[in-house]
Amino acid sequence: MIPAAFDYHRPADLAGAVRLLAEHGDEALVVAGGHSLIPMMKLRMAQPGHLVDLRAIESLRGVRVEGGTVTIGAMTTQAEVIASGPLVDACPILREAALQIADPQIRNLGTVGGNAANGDPGNDLPAVMLALDARYTLEGAGGRREVAAREYYEGAFATAREDGEILTAIRFEAPPAGHGCAYEKQKRKVGDYATAAAAVILARSGGTCTHASIALTNLADRPLLAAEAGAALAGTAAGEAEIAAACAAAQAIAEPVSDGRGSAAFRTRLTGVIVRRAIERALATAA
Amino acid sequence: MSEQAAATTEERIEKLQGLGCARKRVEDARFTQGKGNYVDDIKLPGMVFGDFVRSPYGHARIEGIDKDAALAVPGVLAVLTAEDLKPLNLHYMPTLAGDVQAVLADEKVLFQGQEVAFVIAEDRYAAADGVELVEVEYEALPALTDANRSMDEDAPVLREDIADKTEGAHGARRHPNHIFTWEAGDRAAAEQALASAEVVAEELVVYQRVHPCPLETCGCVASMDKVNGKLTIWGTFQAPHAVRTVASLITNIPEHNIRIVSPDIGGGFGNKVGVYPGYICAAVASIVLGRPVKWIEDRMENLSATAFARDYHMSGKIAATRDGRITGLRCHVLADHGAFDACADPSKFPAGFFNICTGSYDIPSAHVEVDGVYTNKAPGGVAYRCSFRVTEASYFIERMVDVLARKLDMDPAELRRRNLIAKDRFPYTSALGWEYDSGDYHAALDKALAAVDYPALRAGQKAGREAFERGETRTLTGIGVAFFTEIVGAGPVKNCDILGLGMFDSCEIRIHPTGSAIARLGTISQGQGHATTFAQILASEIGIPADRITVEEGDTDTAPYGLGTYGSRSTPVAGAATAMAGRKIRAKAQMIAAYLLEVHEDDLEWDADRFQVKGNPERVKTMAEIAFAAYNQAIPGIEPGLEAVSYYDPPNMTYPFGAYVCVVDVDVDTGVTDVRRFYALDDCGTRINPMIIEGQVHGGLTEALAIAMGQEIAYDETGNVYGGSLLDFFLPTAVETPTWETDFTTTPSPHHPIGAKGVGESPNVGGVSAFSNAVNDAFAHLGLTHAQMPHDHWRVWETAERLGLHG
Ligand SMILES: Cc1cc2nc3c(=O)[nH]c(=O)nc-3n(C[C@H](O)[C@H](O)[C@H](O)COP(=O)(O)OP(=O)(O)OC[C@H]3O[C@@H](n4cnc5c(N)ncnc54)[C@H](O)[C@@H]3O)c2cc1C
């Protein structure tokens, strides 16, 4: 549980960080809260020669809600998200999901950007970002670009982010006022990644579910957007038959592994149960 | 007359903070301020660090070890392998169970995580870098991880070092992977009872492999003083004197030249009883290098390489009359001991006190047989917060009684009531040979059932089941009733020893001239609060306030010889020694008081903290006055000073007992369980400190919850260990821990000087059965008789799936 040797850098601004990454190539990794990376380093599963700490870069911090657009700086901690009034008002699912990450000590250091950028299928925020259709801003020596969260995750720890790119911010349109949402997560204990988890965001108008997006955590080698499941609800009254169809559609795309949380068969079947509970809770919270 | 003397006896007793006082723990001031002194806090000049290269394989031959790259790392001082230890004859060490264990793997590795080489370096970082660079070439061999297959004809032979030994430490070996067979009871009578029974219930009850997982892992600092030849080892030792003797025997260093110190210990739970390769390697490295060597395990090493617990596969048959009188019991145990037999049991008991498995019931005939076998798993088999194999025994009988209740279609509490040993039968000799000292089981069960309003709980459960049937809920409620009897306080020297060391214990007391005292014991607290409670025992015995008594343990240069702390033996054995030593002090004090008061000793009577002349309460000598006189007056015929030592050989074990009730709500769709209520009634005899008892019960119940609901060290067929980190190994936090309701009855032990029986382990012993019985009970009406632990979400869901509850 002792990491290999590395050099530590703490650039004061983004340009400095980008420069260091360009200089050291795939020898370098950025560190944000360190709560995914440092354990991997202690297990020597990650052995970066250079660690570029983003902590001193003020421009990467903070939450802005302007009009309907929410922007979260990558270095905003999970605890700050939970405590951010305007963000929670505009998009309560983020708070709900963040509260189910690890424990308060970890959330005090763990960042939104680290959680989203990491590419660990166990992380909770990526599914929320898929459901929100968020966009990730990446900056590297080659400049700035935006990637849709829905295009970002390619496999376990494999993402659309190039070496040398830093996730600087996450941006999304807040769901309409009166929307319903839920992040339902089953885990074995505090600090555990999900046995199965689902993010549901939906809106209702009159008796009709006008919009629904559903995404899944830790049920495949990457977070999954359950597009068909959402489609099964959208434009319907979201009655029992439609809910059942949505759950079946979500369950059909789940490809969990067997691990200490249970067999793949159990986790697959649990997917339907968790999605149903998330939908029912989201419907109950919708105006 | 002094002001103090004016106080009533009751007031003075209260001031002593002796037996029965909920005195605050004196240890907590330093722990809560982060000022404890654990092994890893020890820093010595010139100290270096050791770290292990461990086997990635469950079973493999070592083809070669190349140290060069590791030795080239700046700061790496040496790399030890079995080849280096062989000339010292230290590549194997004796285990507590009469086997030997490789200190560093000798030609073969036998479990994943086994110690292969020891890298010593100037700091931890260099040591870890060195570990990474030791190149070991392995040839993988087929792994044996299913104990059921250990004695198959074609099973791979694991222990080539002893393959041709047909006699083990506990009798004949039938197979190279067989360790021992041990039995107790009357086989013919038990068979007869089963053959002629009206009803027989059968079950395979598996108690999965778990791990004690103390918060502080194991470690030591070994320091050889080359000037005076003295080896000092500070370590996480639950039995420091035994470690000293063993160290002397295997190193040939004279015992007076070895000093073992257990500083503060962050939990042991049996994990820190045994001797580990790290201790030997650190000592050897210190001798070789002439510098202090520290070795501290990390969490994954602790979970996957140091002593596990349980792994008992128990096949039972229980016979009864149709109206629920149990008439006989049989049990066969397949005991998975891993790669080396490193169980920590008294020598004559290779299966510990498993023959307490008739439990709290009057069962006329019984027989048990235990087969211990080797597998490619870590060695151990320690008593994880219980006396030797007592939790296994208790779990077995408590599940069997429930299984029988299903078969008889009888309420499990009622079946227990019909079979509990009646109060007037104590001392009670069980069919498997133990003499239970005292008990009032029916009173305990009745109190427990009344406290939880058992009939109302059952009525609520019935209503819930009906609602479930109607499709109104997806939750089923289970009610677990468990009764347990422990056997603790090992033990009488006539039949209890570890490596030939009798299991007595000791206390030495010195009273200081100004009326305060120090007591030293052969035990060692790991969180039990000995410094608090042993001072209370003494306060009541010698009339010196507990606050003026220092209790010291753990340094073999100063403490009297004792066998340490595990198996709830400290209060039954060292606590008794403390009381007896206190009585010696009081006897001498009485002689001094008689001299000072110019009366005959027989004319004095003891009054809380003083002797008074009978019939003349004005004429007194307080203990403080007597202490001073002992040091400043020449008293004819009496030596100066006021000291005593007692070595206590207990006449019998003690038998704490209790009745627990657990109510659990089970979500059949997710497998999530929610403990709605947990009531624990404990009878530990005389209660020394009710607050400490409550704390011990809370801790033990939390561990029981962990075991029943999630803990498991599992292996796949190639020998990979799962559950070796806290990601998977279930260590509950406050969030997962329900509210505990505690209660008690008091039935003193008739043979213990103060009637105390021990309590630290009871809640683990009784708790596991209560949780498991509750989960099983939730599905009982649907035909479930027994589901194996751990009752984690997945397994509970699978049970529901098997019962067709998912449509
Ligand atoms: C005991 C424990 C339990 C946990 N439980 C959960 C849980 O239940 N759910 C959950 O979601 N998470 C959990 N986590 C992970 C935690 O939320 C992490 O904090 C988070 O996943 C990573 O955020 P971080 O800021 O700590 O990133 P770091 O660990 O610093 O970095 C993680 C990875 O992302 C990269 N990275 C970080 N920031 C950026 C950036 N801005 N741009 C580009 N790359 C970047 C790093 O190079 C690294 O590869 C747990 C962690 C622990 C230790």
Q: Given the structure tokens 């939990």, which residue do they identify?
A: B267
What is the rounded distance in angstroms from the CA atom of residue B670 to the CA atom of residue A269? 9
| Cβ atoms of B381 and B335 closer than 8 Å | yes
Residue B608, phi-psi category: left (phi > 0), alpha (psi -120 to 50), beta (remainder): left
The residue ranges of chain B whose pLDDT is under 50 are 1, 3
- Measured from the CA of A46, which atom of ligand 1 is nearest? 49
Regarding whether B598 and B474 lie in a shared domain, the answer is no
A92 preceded by cis ω (within 30°)? no
Residue at a domain's end among B281, B305, B329: B305
Chain-chain contact of A189 with B736 (C-beta, under 8 angstroms): yes
Regarding whether B453 and B566 lie in a shared domain, the answer is no
Which helix (H) or strand (E) segment holds residue B646: the answer is strand B643-648
The verdict on domain A62-173 having CATH code 3.40.50.720 is no
Q: How far is B328 from chain A (nearest CA, A)?
A: 38
Question: B723: which chain A residues are within 8 Å (Cβ-Cβ)?
Answer: 260
Helix axes B240-251, B277-289, angle to 10 degrees: 60
Residue B104, domain CATH:
3.90.1170.50
SS percent in chain B: helix, strand, coil, step 5: 30, 25, 40
Tell me the backbone φ, ψ of residue B97, rounded to 5 degrees: -105, 15
Q: Is residue B189 part of a domain?
A: no
Q: How far is B109 from chain A (nearest CA, A)?
A: 22
Question: B724: which chain A residues are within 8 Å (Cβ-Cβ)?
Answer: none
Active site residue B612: no
Please report the number of interchain residue pairs, chain A to chain B, with beta-carbon separation below 8 angstroms: 61
What is the rounded distance in angstroms from the CA atom of residue B247 to the CA atom of residue B281? 12
Chain-chain contact of A2 with B124 (C-beta, under 8 angstroms): yes
CA B127 from chain center: how many Å? 33
Residue at a domain's end among B583, B616, B648: B648
The residue of chain A nearest to residue B729, with distances taken between CA atoms, is A260
Residue ranges of domains in chain A: 7-51, 62-173, 182-285
Residue B671, domain CATH:
3.30.365.10
The verdict on domain A7-51 having CATH code 3.30.70.141 is no
- The pLDDT of residue A1 is 85
CA A112 to ligand 1 centroid distance, Å = 8
SS percent in chain A: helix, strand, coil, step 5: 40, 30, 35
What is the rounded distance in angstroms from the CA atom of residue A73 to the CA atom of residue A120? 20
What is the rounded distance in angstroms from the CA atom of residue B280 to the CA atom of residue B104? 10
- Measured from the CA of A35, which atom of ligand 1 is nearest? 26
Regarding whether B521 and B611 lie in a shared domain, the answer is yes
A66 touches chain B (CB under 8 A): no
Mutating to test ligand 1, I would choose from A82, A101, A120, A216 the residue with most ligand atoms within 8 A of its C-beta, which is A101
Residue B489, phi-psi category: left (phi > 0), alpha (psi -120 to 50), beta (remainder): left
Q: What is the pLDDT of residues B490-518, one digit of tens each?
A: 999 999 998 889 999 999 999 999 999 99
Show the tokens assigned to B111: 């479990």
Q: Is residue B410 part of a domain?
A: yes
Q: Is residue B204 part of a domain?
A: no
Mutating to test ligand 1, I would choose from A20, A31, A130 the residue with most ligand atoms within 8 A of its C-beta, which is A31
Look up the CATH superfamily of A182-285: CO dehydrogenase flavoprotein, C-terminal domain (3.30.390.50)
| Cβ atoms of B556 and B244 closer than 8 Å | yes
The residue of chain B nearest to residue A188, with distances taken between CA atoms, is B793
* Residue in A287, A229, A250, A282 with CA at minimum distance from that of residue A96: A282
Regarding whether B116 and B52 lie in a shared domain, the answer is yes
ipTM over the 0.85 cut-off: yes
What is the rounded distance in angstroms from the CA atom of residue A115 to the CA atom of residue B478? 39
Question: B736: which chain A residues are within 8 Å (Cβ-Cβ)?
Answer: 189-190
A266 touches chain B (CB under 8 A): yes
Q: What is the pLDDT of residues B231-262, one digit of tens each?
A: 999 999 999 999 999 899 888 999 999 999 99
CA B745 from chain center: how many Å? 23
- Measured from the CA of A75, which atom of ligand 1 is nearest? 41
Chain-chain contact of A2 with B735 (C-beta, under 8 angstroms): no
Number of domains in chain B: 3
CA B746 from chain center: how many Å? 23
Domain that holds residue B125: 39-141+217-265+273-305
Regarding whether B48 and B31 lie in a shared domain, the answer is no
Regarding whether B637 and B509 lie in a shared domain, the answer is yes
Chain-chain contact of B736 with A191 (C-beta, under 8 angstroms): no
Regarding whether B689 and B631 lie in a shared domain, the answer is no
A262 touches chain B (CB under 8 A): yes
A188 touches chain B (CB under 8 A): yes
Regarding whether B638 and B581 lie in a shared domain, the answer is yes
Q: Given the structure tokens 């029981």, which residue do they identify?
A: B704
**Catalytic residue (one of B385, B548, B569, B610):** B385
Mean pLDDT of A87-110: 97
Q: Is residue B250 part of a domain?
A: yes
With a Cβ cut-off of 6 Å, ligand 1 is lined by A 29-37, 39, 54, 74, 101-102, 106, 110-111, 113-115, 117-118, 123-125, 166-167, 191, 193
Paired residues of A185 in beta bridges: A197
| Cβ atoms of B577 and B254 closer than 8 Å | no
A284 touches chain B (CB under 8 A): no
Regarding whether B474 and B566 lie in a shared domain, the answer is no
**Catalytic residue (one of B203, B216, B486, B761):** B761
Regarding whether B615 and B715 lie in a shared domain, the answer is no
The C-alpha angle with vertex A51 and arms to A50 and A55, in degrees rounded to 5, equals: 150
Q: Is residue B500 part of a domain?
A: no
Mutating to test ligand 1, I would choose from A29, A75, A118 the residue with most ligand atoms within 8 A of its C-beta, which is A118
- The pLDDT of residue B1 is 44
Identify the residue whose C-alpha is closest to ligand 1 atom 33. Answer: A118
Work out the number of other CB atoms within 10 angstroms of the CB of residue A82: 18
- Four-residue CA torsion sign, B241, B246, B247, B249: positive
Q: Is residue B179 part of a domain?
A: no
CA B41 to ligand 1 centroid distance, Å = 30
Name residues whose C-beta falls within 8 Å of residue B340's C-beta, 6 or more positions apart in sequence.
B95, B99, B100, B101, B102, B110, B159, B374, B379
Active site residue B435: no
CA distances (Å), origin B11, targets B16, B22, B248, B539, B572: 9, 16, 50, 14, 28
- Tell me if A7-51 shares its fold with A182-285: no
The residue of chain A nearest to residue B709, with distances taken between CA atoms, is A188
B631 touches chain A (CB under 8 A): no
Active site residue B386: yes
Chain-chain contact of B298 with A189 (C-beta, under 8 angstroms): no
Chain-chain contact of A5 with B125 (C-beta, under 8 angstroms): yes
**Catalytic residue (one of B213, B281, B357, B386):** B386
Show the tokens assigned to B19: 């037996």
CA A54 to ligand 1 centroid distance, Å = 13
Question: A274: which chain B residues are within 8 Å (Cβ-Cβ)?
Answer: 670
Picking from B124, B672, B798, the nearest residue to A186 by CB comes out as B672
The residue of chain A nearest to residue B798, with distances taken between CA atoms, is A266
Active site residue B761: yes
Q: What is the pLDDT of residues B556-585, one digit of tens each?
A: 999 999 999 998 999 999 999 999 999 999
Can you list the pairs that A228-231 forms with residues at least 24 positions away whose Cβ atoms lie under 8 Å?
A: A228/A252, A228/A253, A229/A275
Show the tokens assigned to A243: 């809910």
Regarding whether B735 and B624 lie in a shared domain, the answer is no
Question: A262: which chain B residues are within 8 Å (Cβ-Cβ)?
Answer: 671, 792-794, 797
Show the tokens assigned to A100: 């189910």
The per-residue DSSP string of B573-592 comes to IIIHHHHHHHHHHHHHHHHH
Regarding whether B663 and B756 lie in a shared domain, the answer is yes
